[in-house]
A and B are shown apart, each in its own frame.
Chain A
């Protein structure tokens, strides 16, 4: 069974940092891109960024709202993707989901809540 499990969320002060993890199982992680999508409380879905596979040179991209602050990475040996979030702002408060894509959308994780507040 394809499974993605996010972790690392929590409460952080404005300007702080947090690193999210997305542990994958049940599929060929190395061949998949991992996307990050967030959902602010009571709001819709917003794409955050992604990192492609080794075959695609681990290319990454980010939404304008997080570019320069968020960085995607991955560890093939651990079948885990990461989202390093720096200089966090109150508007980054959301549930963060990771999504696996291999040609088409395969699976979503259950999400991890990030709260940015003083």
Chain B
């Protein structure tokens, strides 16, 4: 499965937020050298918003303060300078194989 850490974190405005995601199996597909890992942001009452796919590729329109890194089983989402509108729950997801699996979510709050 997918395990995120921490479950929650409080960060000051303008400071860095880092969320980790660990997969029990490698998400690296050898034939195309891509990691099948996505990151989402979800605010109350809204659907998940895709931020990053292929582990590190930002979806069009996503601010560049969001970045993804990692490979195989260990991944990180970094918000370089937290803004008020970034307060949300963040999920990682593997789409290497079905059933897709999601991390349990990390709640990011403003300190």
Q: Which residues of A contact B (CB under 8 A)?
A: 35, 37, 44-47, 50, 61, 63, 95, 97, 101, 104-105, 107-111
Contact = CB atoms under 8 A, between A and B. Distances in A.
A47 B91 contact: no
Contacts of A35: 100
Nearest to B38: A105
- In order of increasing CB-CB distance, the 5 nearest A-B pairs are A47-B100, A45-B102, A47-B99, A104-B53, A61-B98
Measured as residues with beta carbon below 8 angstroms from the partner, the interface class of chain B is 20 to 34
Given A97-B47, A104-B54, A105-B50, A44 B38 contact: no
A111 B42 CA distance: 13
A117 B66 CA distance: 40
A47 B98 contact: yes
B23 to A, nearest CB: 15
Which of B38, B53, B99, B104 is most buried by chain A, counting CB atoms within 10 A of its CB? Answer: B99
A54 B93 CA distance: 25
Given A104-B53, A105-B53, A105-B95, A44 B104 contact: yes
B68 interface: no
B102 A46 contact: yes
Interface of B: 36, 38, 40, 47-50, 53-54, 91, 93, 95, 98-105
Given A44-B103, A46-B102, 6 more contacts: A44-B91, A47-B99, A50-B98, A101-B95, A104-B53, A104-B54
A72 to B, nearest CB: 12
A37 B100 contact: yes
22 contacts: A35-B100, A44-B104, A44-B105, A45-B40, A45-B48, A46-B102, A47-B99, A47-B102, A61-B98, A61-B99, A63-B99, A95-B47, A97-B47, A101-B95, A104-B36, A104-B95, A105-B38, A105-B53, A108-B47, A108-B49, A108-B50, A111-B47
Contacts of B95: 101, 104-105
A97 B98 contact: no
Nearest to A64: B99
Residue from B40, B47, B105 having most chain A Cβ neighbours under 10 A? B47
